[in-house]
Structure 1
Amino acid sequence: MCNMILFELFKTFFTIGLISFGGGYAMIPVIELEVTEHDWMTIQEFTDIIAIAGMSPGPIATNSAIFVGYQTAGFLGAIVSALGMVLPSLIIILIISIFFNKANKHHTVQSAFYGLRPIIVGLIVYSAIKFAISNELVGTFSPHSISLLAIFGLSLLALIKFSIHPAVVILTAGVVGIIFF
């Protein structure tokens, strides 16, 4: 039974790592779909994992895979999930690096990369909206949701307008959460 779960974790994250483009945030909707379809955790549990993975050092998709793997099958599950997520990129990068200088100058390759940009932005925005809905930031107007929107707005303002380091914003938001919630 445990070997089957480990195989399923590896296969799932290997597939996600192989077919997903645009970085970790663009992979979140795909990971969420797989995690909930396999009944490895609820959407709320996954949302909590994304919050932790986003604050942890390293790529969010790999961190998410590690947390999901650990939650599902312990330490071995975390290792298997991480390998599944990382191996496709490693293999593809090794192959691409051999041909990159020649291929990058080709018009078709440049056009393909240009065409992928909008979908990557769309996946990131979709992920942010799903995350906001599951955390009741949008959809309802209660004192709780308004306070969450205020923290979001002030955090965004601190990052964009005042260029405050993201770590400071994250820590401050955490302290505010402790105080108010």
Structure 2
Amino acid sequence: MTFLELFWSFFQIGLFSIGGGNASLPLIQAQIVELHGWLSMTEFADIVAIAEITPGPIGINSATFVGTKIAGLPGAIVATLGCILPSCIIVLTLAYFYKKLKDHPLMQGVLGGLRPAVVSLITSAGLGILVLVLFPAGAGTSIDYIGCCLFVLSFIVMRIWKPNPIYVMLGSGLLGMGCYLLLP
């Protein structure tokens, strides 16, 4: 039953992850944290951080990590297949229709309508993780000033100098390690 649950959960994530990896974060959170309780919110944030710094799409990386935690290597394979199968089917179907209808006003309307929804999904996921960074013990608790400073510093560096995000993640990880080890 676990394999079927893993496959079906990640199949749904793969099916409804319109807009790319970050847009799928609320769906992943709903399935693995809220519905099944496979991970805590803190573990989910850790998985997101790891999935962001490893090569590949965040949904597939998350499926692999969660599948491994729940049922080892076979669980990772089942969850990953569940995540990619809908995309394969949808992309092949859409490529066919897009080639035929790319200049049609209806197609342009659909694409124009999807853009704002994708932005809202990404913003929702980002705000959820930001709250976890600022209040690691839960909303309404004391602020994690180190996490807050690292967030602001990373945001400023990205907006002003626009470096490779990998360098910002590595720098934040090293600064965080130093700060959390040295400061009480």
- State the TM-score, normalized to the length of structure 1: 0.91
Q: Deviations over 1:105-152 (max 9, x none)?
A: 11111111101111110110100111111223595685x622212211
- Determine if the alignment matches structure 1 residue 17 to structure 2 residue 14: yes
1:146 matched to which residue of 2?
Answer: 145
- Determine if the alignment matches structure 1 residue 98 to structure 2 residue 96: yes
Give the counterpart letter for 1:117 in structure 2: R
Any gaps of 5 or more consecutive residues in structure 1? none
1:163 matched to which residue of 2?
Answer: 162
Q: CA deviation at 1:8?
A: 0.8
Q: Is the 8 A contact 2:146 2:176 kept in 1?
A: no
Any gaps of 5 or more consecutive residues in structure 2? none
Q: Is the 8 A contact 2:134 2:145 kept in 1?
A: no
1:29 matched to which residue of 2?
Answer: 26
Give the 3 Å change call, closer, same or farther, for CA 147–140 of structure 1 in structure 2. farther
Give the counterpart letter for 1:91 in structure 2: I
Q: Distance in 1 between matches of 2:131 and 2:49?
A: 14
2:39 matched to which residue of 1?
Answer: 41
Please give the secondary structure, in 2, of the residue aligned with 1:134.
helix
1:125 matched to which residue of 2?
Answer: 123
Q: Distance in 1 between matches of 2:141 and 2:75?
A: 39
Give the counterpart letter for 2:109 in structure 1: S
Q: Is the 8 A contact 1:65 1:85 kept in 2?
A: yes
Please give the secondary structure, in 2, of the residue aligned with 1:161.
helix
What is the percentage of aligned positions where both structures have the same residue? 39
Where in structure 2 are the equivalents of 1:75-90 lying within 5 Å?
75-90=73-88
Give the 3 Å change call, closer, same or farther, for CA 61–31 of structure 1 in structure 2. same
Q: Is the 8 A contact 1:10 1:81 kept in 2?
A: yes
Give the counterpart letter for 1:29 in structure 2: P
Please give the secondary structure, in 2, of the residue aligned with 1:164.
coil
Q: Distance in 2 between matches of 1:172 and 1:19?
A: 33
Q: CA deviation at 1:154?
A: 1.3
Give the 3 Å change call, closer, same or farther, for CA 92–73 of structure 1 in structure 2. same
C-alpha RMSD over aligned residues: 1.7
Q: Distance in 2 between matches of 1:146 and 1:38?
A: 32
Moved >6 Å (runs of 4+): none
For this pair of structures, how many residues does the alignment match? 177
